Structure 1
């Protein structure tokens, strides 16, 4: 997709990402994720590597005030867009390898949509996701291709099985 040069001069990458990619590409995945996970009133949802926050926003749309939503991203620019678009969500700047959670803070649902492949230390991120999950919680990680085609995802699966046990055996394909 080619943007007019004046659009590139007036908008940040994060704003262009939100404007041109979120609704056509990332919203459908977020919708499918929550159709699979079946949100319930009162659910606490964590969106790791949230970018401009489409996963968190879809959770908020579905739960309204009957849930608690947190989005975490390493990019302050992405979070600035997220805060502007959805100010009623708890947006936090932080790294997936050391999630900025309060003592004992856990979530019923932890989602990482299209972020894992960018983590410099996937081995550190996996136990952080487990730490964020409440007992009986559900984890959804989406990447670009099947794990059979991406070596680091195969390794992630091995690490997840070691840290998460049987929960890592469940697979969903969209």
Structure 2
């Protein structure tokens, strides 16, 4: 895997088993209608936008926005027929008076430094009567597989605040959306069993994320960071083994799914 970029690894190893199922769940909840205009905020390599396009076909118009141009390059290669735009969630790159019928932000809000500004931008971009869906992972204290992997990493790096699981409180998520002017705000916790046929790439990518989010990892020189990453991967093998079932790695993961109307 050393010769391909992180966005390529993300698309190849994580999107199918981990992120596509949640995109499907989201659009099962927020039904799409023929001709809908859909905006995917913090689209990454674009799985939410791609699922929307699959469901809408040629009649739908789909836009994906992300701040990471390397992620967008992979998104464009995967789906050239979608309108991919580089931009910040706190200042969306919208055309004059452009609005959408459905806006989705899947596992992105927890990373935004200014969440109220991002929520206000979502409200600005949503058409009257439009529908919003925002998903944020629950705390990893509720997800044993990722909690155990974090604890292994912390033996090498000290305490880690895992941003991926930093906005797991559904009440705070609902309040944020209400404060931004959305109505009919509601949320529920959805749990799914996730299966990876090969757990090794997942473990490596997760370890890269944990090292990158840790204060100690940020302060390390490249060679030391690489050595520590390998030590954590090796030390995490028992966690992977404890979640193996003979045909892959299986674990439960839970997410908030908040919906609202404009």
Fold match (TM-score > 0.5) = yes
1:97 maps to 90
In structure 1, what is the Cα distance between the partners aligned to 2:25 and 2:137? 15
1:167 maps to 184
SS of equivalent residue, structure 2 residue 35: coil
Note the 1:44-63 alignment, pairs <5 A.
Answer: 44-63=37-56
2:214 maps to none
Deviates most, 116-125 or 85-94: 116-125
* 2:89 aligned with 1:72: no
Structure 1 residues 165 and 61: CA distance shift in structure 2, 3 A: closer
The structural deviation recorded for 1:162 is 2.0
Gaps of 5+ in 2: 140-165, 191-262
1:3 maps to none
Between the two proteins, the alignment pairs up a number of residues equal to 164
Structure 1 residues 80 and 150: CA distance shift in structure 2, 3 A: closer
C-alpha contact (below 8 Å) 1:122/1:156 kept by paired residues: no
4+ runs of 1 displaced by more than 6 Å?
none
Deviates most, 30-39 or 50-59: 30-39
What whole-Å deviation, never above 9, does each CA across 1:147-166 have from its counterpart, x for those lacking one? xx847764443232122243
C-alpha contact (below 8 Å) 2:43/2:106 kept by paired residues: yes
C-alpha contact (below 8 Å) 1:112/1:141 kept by paired residues: yes
C-alpha contact (below 8 Å) 2:62/2:83 kept by paired residues: yes
Gaps of 5+ in 1: 1-6
What whole-Å deviation, never above 9, does each CA across 1:113-169 have from its counterpart, x for those lacking one? 0001111111110000000100110000000117xx84776444323212224332x
CA RMSD across the alignment: 1.7
The structural deviation recorded for 1:172 is 3.7
Which of the numbers 105, 109, 112 marks the counterpart of 2:105? Answer: 112
The structural deviation recorded for 1:93 is 0.2
